[in-house]
Amino acid sequence: MLQKSRNGKGRSVLVAGGAGFVGSHLCDALLSRGDRVLCVDSFITGSVTNVQPLANHPQFRLIEADICDLRSIDEPLDQIYNLACAASPPQYQADPVHTMMTCVAGTGNLLALAEYHNASFLQASTSEVYGDPAEHPQREDYRGNVSCTGPRACYDEGKRAAEALCFDLVRAGRVDARVARIFNTYGPRMQPHDGRIISNLLVQAITGKPLTIYGSGQQTRSFCFVSDLVAGLMALMNVTPNPQGPVNLGNPGEFTINQLAEMVHAMVPTAARIVYHPLPQDDPQRRRPDISKAKDLLGWEPRVPLAEGLRQTAAWFIATLGTQPVSGKRRAPPSARTRRSNVSIGV
């Protein structure tokens, strides 16, 4: 059975990072289900614009706060989703100490809140806990190949530590915590300059700039549309009994970065040529989830194909940036590709 709130009128749900890309979509879905939503966000990477349409919703409330300094919440809570952390390399590397503390101290604060309110807790972890994986596709029992001293460690190791906190409290019987390992997610409300591969390529294509690929472009990623991910998060939060371990959430369709760039180039009329840059340190070569566990436990799998999700995302960026429309026809991929030596951000 799904958890009910104490007043019998739907659940009272706290979404940390609720003004972010994924968090704002989650707030929408929870409100549509009839829940009361308390959105907590520091606005370091979140945006007021993402939740502005909810400002007058009677079941929605926004609190500006950093979870590292979060004070007690006196009102009853039934569920807590923790999505509060910068998720792209340029963002989490901008202040690596704060990133680590958000993952560890911030998650600890929210877990304490969950314990106090006897609320179910969902930690948004990441496929980055697998590092540059030696196992492919990645299963939840794979322990990863992560550098604990590199420039991505603040996020990778921070998320691994947050998982450890969750499962320590689960084993102690103190918090009903669940952990979602989220693979690359995309869709409307992504920040145009967040440094993620899909936003990079779409914004470059829409503004007529060269499409930038790091490394050879043969490295792979799997891309999950945001509505599919939100459905998976909600399914994991509400499944009984507690899975007692992490669950991968992502789309198992695997694409090279070259394939992605060629799809974007064919879709957006203003797209320029493709150029290459050196691969950043510790950038993983392959990334693809094994979602057998999510299928078995949650009855969940993604439904939105990459081509359809890209069209929706490109249309959103075009509306946001005020540029030209997306083409409905595919164009031939670029034949000439040049290489440049500038070091820049990764995927």
- Scanning the structure block, which residue is given the tokens 């659940």? 11
Question: SS3 letters for 17-84?
Answer: CCCCHHHHHHHHHHHHCCCEEEEEECCCCCCHHHHHHHCCCCCEEEEECCHHHCCCCCCCCCEEEECC
In 3D space, the residue among 260, 282, 277, 138 whose CA is nearest the CA of residue 205 turns out to be 260
Helices 21-32 and 226-238 pack at an angle, to 10 degrees, of 60
∠ Cα 34 11 82 (to 5°): 105
In 3D space, the residue among 243, 246, 187, 221 whose CA is nearest the CA of residue 29 turns out to be 187
209-227 burial, b at 16+ Cβ within 10 Å, e below that, comes to ebbbbbbebebbbbbbbbb
Other C-beta atoms closer than 10 Å to the C-beta of 317 total: 22
Backbone angles phi, psi at 212, to 5 degrees: -95, 125
With beta carbons less than 8 A apart as the criterion, state whether 254 and 217 touch: no
Count H helices and E strands in the chain, helices first: 11, 14
Catalytic positions: 155
Alpha-carbon distance of 111 to 169, in angstroms, equals 8
Side chain identity, residue 130: Y
Torsion of CA 253, 258, 263, 265, to 10 degrees: 160
Residue 210: helix, strand or coil by DSSP?
A: coil
